[in-house]
Every structure is written in structure tokens, then in C-alpha cells.
Structure 1
Amino acid sequence: MTTQPAPVVRRATSERSTRNAAAVMKALTQEAIDRGLDGIATSSIAKRAGLTTGAVYSRYENNDEMLIALWESVVAPALAAHVRETIDAVISPSAQPSTELITQIEKPSRLLSLGAEFVVMAQRNEVVGEVVIAEVSKWLHDAGLNPKSNSITRAGVALGASIAIGSILRSYVTGSNPGMRMIVDGIHNAYLVAKPTSKPRKTVAPKPIRSATGSPLRDALIDATAEVMSKTGFTGATISRIARKSGVTSGSIYNFYPDKEALMNDAVSELMRTTQRQNLDSKRTASSAKEPNFGLTDSFDFGLIPDRRTWLRFRQECLIATRHHKKTHSEMKKVVLELDAAMKASFPKVDQAIITLVSMGEQAIGYGYSSLFGYTDLFSKCDFDAIMVQVAKQNSL
């Protein structure tokens, strides 16, 4: 009887493979943090990991597969915990937000910053979206944003998730969100005493968000930039595509703007100011009419208007761009400071510290709310007004 040789255990190869996999994931994470999800490059990842490009491709077929692995292995666990804890801070009767949670809301980590970027880009990247949208949608559903919950619970979950994501997006521009503990506590307290809205609210739909600079050519370019970039992100948007959409030649665009970033900055500045004028008008109207919600609910209603979705998606892409484009960051920060000043000037008789918190809270929640449109179809079934009435009451607005 012939004795079979013992199988060869290739432990060294297995250990090397494990080390290489860890090195690639570490390099990929740092690459995404430094360059953004749209900017990762296989050659750069290989260099960071100390491996060949072929070694990276042997694990991942393309960038989308790398991003999915990054999401599943590194980003999703951290973001899921953050979103869940923030939702609990809003809707749990005995909520006592931890110091760690408030720290992450006020000054988000780089890993959470990646998470919010995933939430935005997944809605225009079909491959990545197949994974991210399904997972985040389940988080929201399991937390209570589902048909079985009542309308106030749905609104509370939506607000918690919006704070979790939106505070990260706002920090791209401002660096931090000081005072968010008071906002979280205020919304939590309002949620606990909220009563269902007894009758349908009458809202006046704002005009469509369109550029109105007085220059037809500039307006066409700004509107085309918003439409193209809302679908492709900053990296994927080309001057040629913007030219085709606007009906303007590429050469004419360069007569107005030195590069794509300058065009994007002009577009986001103009459209954000247009939106701010509409939001301030709604609050002045609500204040004059002594509406109990101080117009705070209008922003949620406005976000549901289909005609505004292109602009809102464009704004989210600009927020992402601020992480990696200094001029865009500078322009966005300038506009945000202008919005804060305009809010204070519009309501000089209201405690200015309260107005500062209202402005910051609306920005953070608005950024998060509009980032989650692709993850649920239940926002129209949320009783935001019930909670906002209590927020206004508690702050004497």
C-alpha cells in the first residue's frame, strides 16, 4: 500500500495574502479620504500599499468594486452606528446623547466624512448605489421610517438621520458645528411633546430655482452646470457636456470662466442665494402671520417639490467638492456666512443666539434631508410640522 504524501501547507502565501489585503484596504481608505471617492486611482493605491498595480487588480476588477469593498468593510459599520445613535438621541424617551456622539456631530471624523460622501454619490453611481442604497434604506426602515410607524415617529427618525448625515456635510464647509448638542436636545424635547397636525397646512410653493443674474448667457451656463453636475458629480462633469446642455460653445464658456471650478462656484453661489431669499421670505411671511411653526416646516415641504430636486442634488455635489477644491470651499463658506448674517438681519428682535442655532440647524438638517431622498419615499408621510411647531414654541419664535 502506497502512503500518500502529506499535503503542503502554504502558510506563508496565505499570510502574505492576508497582509496584502489589509494593506490594500488601508491604502484605499487613505486614498479615498485624501482624494474623494471619485478621485481614487489604482496606481496610487498600489504605491501606498507597497504593491504592484496588478496585485490590486487581482482583488478588485475596477474602482466601483473597490468602493463597495471600502463601504462594506470600513465605512458602513461606523456610519450605521452613528446614524442609529443620532436617531435614538431624537426619538428615545430616555435619550441622553453620549459625549462621543455629540463630538462626532460637532466635528465629524474623517471616516464619517467618507460615509456622507458615499450617501450622496451612491445616488448617481448605479453600481455602488445597488449596495449603499439598499443598506441605508434598511437602516431607516428598521429605525422606524416605515409604513407601520405613525407620522410623528417617521418624522423623528427622518430628523435624526438628517442630523447625522447633514452635520457631516455642513462640516465640509465650516469645519465644525458648535452648539449642535442644543439642537439635538431641542428637537428631542419637541418630539416628545409633539401632537399630530390636526389639519392640512396651506403652503405656497416657491418659484423654481433658476439663475436670474440678468445675463441670459450666464443664466444658461449656471442652470446647465447644475443639471449636469447633479447627475455626474464634479469629476464627471465636463465643459463639453455643459456646453451642449446650455447651447453655448465651449470657447464662449472659457470667455466667462477660466475653468470648470470657477463655473461651479458661480453656479452654487447664485443658486444658494436664490434659495436663501425664498426661505427668508417664507419665514417673514410665517412670522407676520404668526404661524406657530415660524416657517420651519416650509423647507421640508419645498424639498418635496420635484422641480427643486436638480438644484438640491447639485448642492450636495458642491458640498462634496469643497473637501478637495480650495476655491470651492472658500466660496461655499462665504455664502454660508452670508446666509447666517441674512437670518440675523431679518429677525433683529429675536434672540440672536437662537437665530444662529436655527440657521445652523436648518443648514445641517436640510443638507441631510435632501441627501436621503433616494433612500425612502416616506418623507411626504412625515409630520414634520408637529415637531417644528414645538421647536418654535420652545424658542419663542
Structure 2
Amino acid sequence: MTGPRTRRDRVALNDERILDAAVVVLDRFGIDGLSARRVAEQAGLSTGAIYGRFENTDELLVEVWNRRLRSVVLGGLERSIRMSDPAVGDPDPVVPESFDPVAERIGAFVIALAPRSDVLSEVVVPDVDAWLRAMGVGPGNPATSRARRAIAIAAYFGAMLNGSVSEALHPDWVLCLRWWEEARARETLPLSGPVAWLPPTRIAVESGNPELDVLLLATGEVMARAGVAGTTVTRIARRAGVPRSAVYAHFDSKDDLVQACIFQATANASASARRLKSLTAPHGVASVAHRVTDPAGRQWRRRRIEGLLAAIYSPALASAVLLAEVETENELIMRIGLIDAGEEYALRQLLRFFDVLATGLAVVPELSTVFEGIDWRIVLTPITEQASAEIFGGMRPSLITTG
């Protein structure tokens, strides 16, 4: 077998090796762990060969997006849309149908982190904007169809990222699809209700120590802007307006502070849940749905997804995220008020579905505007009733507890 005959052939072959190696490195170490050294080692090349073709890792990531990820992610989104909306039917996809779970997951990471990089944003953001317009979530389309497709897109990205941390963060997808079939058959279901209903607002949870509260707030703001990898004690201290010594007076390391920030976000959700005590189950879940989809919650969702992305490559953070999510779920279930184990199981699946939705809306924040004005009580009451009927029909509850 002969090798490449010309310099152009050798360059093309090396490019393929570099791109394949970059995908492997991204899968193992994440975007923050992508480096020329790691790619060179994986490809069996020198770092000079990498820099001879790509100025920096951002430029390499753009090429990986264009040649390895873009079409695969688009194919996955089209699958999700076709499953969610009967009006779409089963047309030929824009790109050849493909299924590569690794590439789809990495593609979701790239879209989620594109806002951090001007180079990446210039390529990825226009692609995603064009997809959203083509997929019918823009103005001018029927509200029901827009909401259905926006949920399908957000759930696609949310499932990719939540599942990368722990399968326990996934809802029962078989059950959710049953509800979805029931819900999408209700073409005349109204999406807006009385404006007199006001969902519970977020409640800021304070520790009782003003300096600690300032540090946690500053950590969340830095995480939302720079990610966990870009969050440093120096940046947190500067944002909080305190010396570095003030940070170490409360925390041994940055990792401890990041975990505390994640738990504070959980405490905020639990505090909001206490406002649900007097509501019926559908109304309680509707309040959660509103909190998750509210366009004003963009920073909260951004901070949360940065924690998720970091947790994928950190077992300690993954444990913290999973514990925080389960504790929040248990708090919500306790406060909503239930009838029996069957309904509890159904509502847990709805809560997990909205947790996935929150992650997806952090990846594509523009989708949250689709849900403005939706009264989730109207949408969720028949779905919750259908879910309970399915449970009573013989499905065995399987409950997750913190124990």
C-alpha cells in the first residue's frame, strides 16, 4: 500500500488525523482541556504540525465544528423535530441522516460554550440562528407549533448534557413520549391564561454572613461569564471587591467555592418551592416550569450549565451536582403535595423533564422567548392527568431518594 503521493495529499491526510484526534481529546477532556499537545500526541504528530495548520485551539475547534460536528448535530435536531411535531411529518432531512452520539454530545458542548469565544461565536451562532429560523421557532409561526418545536430543540441539547453527568438526571423518556403524543394531539389547547395568575418569584437565599454571600454571588457571575475552568480565586475576589485572603478565610480552594455556589443555586430553588405549598400538583409543577423557562432566568441557567459542563470531567463536581438536583427534586415533591406513589412518580418525571429543558435553554437561550405568556397550568393539567392515568395503568413506580 502506497502513502500519499504529493504534499497536498500529505497535508490533507494530516488534517484528517488532526481532526479525528481533536474529537477524541474533546470527548476525554472537554473543550477546556483541548490543547495542541494533547491533539498532537493523539494524532502521532508534532505540536509544530498542529500549529502549522491552525493558529490556535479556537481555530482548530472551528474546523472540527465545520467538518465533524455541524452536520451531525443538525441531523439530531431534525430527528427531534420530526418526533415532536406531526405537522413536519417525515420529510427527507436537510443533511444525510446520521447518528453519532459522541459527535452530537461534543457539538452540544461547542454550542453551549461558543459565547466564550469570539472566533467560535462568529461561526457557530449564525449556524444555530439559521437552524432555528428553518425549524419554525421564529415569529410568524403558530404559537403551539413554535412552543412544541422549541421544547424539542431544548430537550435534545438538555438530554445530551444532563446525561453526560449522570443518567439519573434523565426523565423516563418512554413515559414522556406517551405524554407528548397525548399533548400534541390537543391542537386546540390554549397556551395563555388569566394574567391574574402570578407564579412564585425567585427568592435570594442568604447565609447570614454578608461577606460569604458576596463571594457566592461573585462566583456565580464569574462562572456564568468564564466557565468553571476560567473561574479563579483572583477573579472572584476582584469581582467581589475583597482581597484574596477573604476567599481563603471561608474556603480551602476554588473547587470548594464552586461547589458551594452550586448548592446555593439549589437552595434558591428549594426556597422558591416553599411557595408552592398551597398549590395543587399541576399548578405547582407549572410554577417550576415557569421558573425554568422564564427569559429573565438566563444568568441562573448559564451558571447552572457551567457547573454541569465542568461536572462531566470532574467526579467530585458530578457528585455535588447530582446531590443538589436530587435534593431540589425531593423538596419540590414534598412541597407540591401528592396523592399517592403513582402520581409522585409521574410528577418526578415532569420535574426531570423541565430540568432537561432548563439545560437546553442555557445552550440556546433565544428559545426562552418562545415561552413568554404561556400559562403552564393550562398546558400541564391535562398532561399530568394523562401521566397519572398511565401510571395507574400498571407502570411500576421507581423513586430516587437521597438515601
Change (3 A) 1:86 1:382: farther
- The Cα of 1:226 is off from its aligned counterpart by 0.4
Q: If the length of structure 1 is used for normalisation, what is the TM-score?
A: 0.85
Specify the alignment match of 1:336 in structure 2: 325
Specify the alignment match of 1:122 in structure 2: 114
- The Cα of 1:228 is off from its aligned counterpart by 0.8
- The Cα of 1:314 is off from its aligned counterpart by 0.5
Specify the alignment match of 1:274 in structure 2: 268
Counterparts of 1:76 and 1:207, CA distance in 2: 38
Change (3 A) 1:82 1:15: same
Counterparts of 2:339 and 2:375, CA distance in 1: 29
Counterparts of 2:37 and 2:196, CA distance in 1: 56
1:364 paired with 2:356, answer: yes
CA contact (8 A) 2:269 2:328 kept: no
* Runs of at least 5 residues in structure 2 that lack an aligned partner in the other structure: 91-97, 390-403
Counterparts of 2:315 and 2:44, CA distance in 1: 30
Specify which of 98, 102, 105 is matched with residue 110 of structure 1: 102
Change (3 A) 1:340 1:257: same
Deviations 1:148-170 (A, max 9, x none): 21111110011101110111121
Percent identity over the alignment is 23
Structure 1 range deviating more: 328-337 or 169-178: 169-178
* Runs of at least 5 residues in structure 1 that lack an aligned partner in the other structure: 1-9, 97-103
Q: If the length of structure 2 is used for normalisation, what is the TM-score?
A: 0.84
2:310 partner letter = A
Counterparts of 1:79 and 1:276, CA distance in 2: 34
1:152 paired with 2:152, answer: no
- The Cα of 1:255 is off from its aligned counterpart by 2.3
- The Cα of 1:373 is off from its aligned counterpart by 1.0
2:306 partner letter = E
Deviations 1:311-367 (A, max 9, x none): 221101001000112211110111122223334434341422212212221211222
Deviations 1:96-117 (A, max 9, x none): 9xxxxxxx99xx9332221221
1:257 paired with 2:251, answer: yes
1:11 partner letter = R
1:392 partner letter = T
Specify which of 126, 133, 144 is matched with residue 141 of structure 1: 133
Structure 1 range deviating more: 142-151 or 370-379: 370-379
CA contact (8 A) 1:210 1:271 kept: no
Change (3 A) 1:345 1:46: same
RMSD (Å) for aligned C-alpha atoms: 2.8
Specify the alignment match of 1:188 in structure 2: 181
Question: Whose RCO is larger (CA < 8 A, sep 6+)?
Answer: 1
1:17 paired with 2:6, answer: no
- The Cα of 1:137 is off from its aligned counterpart by 2.0
1:237 paired with 2:250, answer: no
Counterparts of 2:192 and 2:262, CA distance in 1: 38
Q: Which runs of structure 2 are paired with 1:81-96 in the superposition (5 Å)? A: 81-92=75-86
Deviations 1:166-210 (A, max 9, x none): 111211332353621221331232122042236444343544554
Q: Which runs of structure 2 are paired with 1:296-335 in the superposition (5 Å)? A: 296-303=285-292, 308-335=297-324
CA contact (8 A) 1:155 1:382 kept: no
Counterparts of 2:203 and 2:60, CA distance in 1: 36
CA contact (8 A) 2:144 2:191 kept: no
1:48 paired with 2:42, answer: yes
1:226 paired with 2:220, answer: yes
Counterparts of 1:158 and 1:63, CA distance in 2: 32
CA contact (8 A) 1:91 1:188 kept: no
1:115 partner letter = G
- The Cα of 1:297 is off from its aligned counterpart by 3.8
2:352 partner letter = M
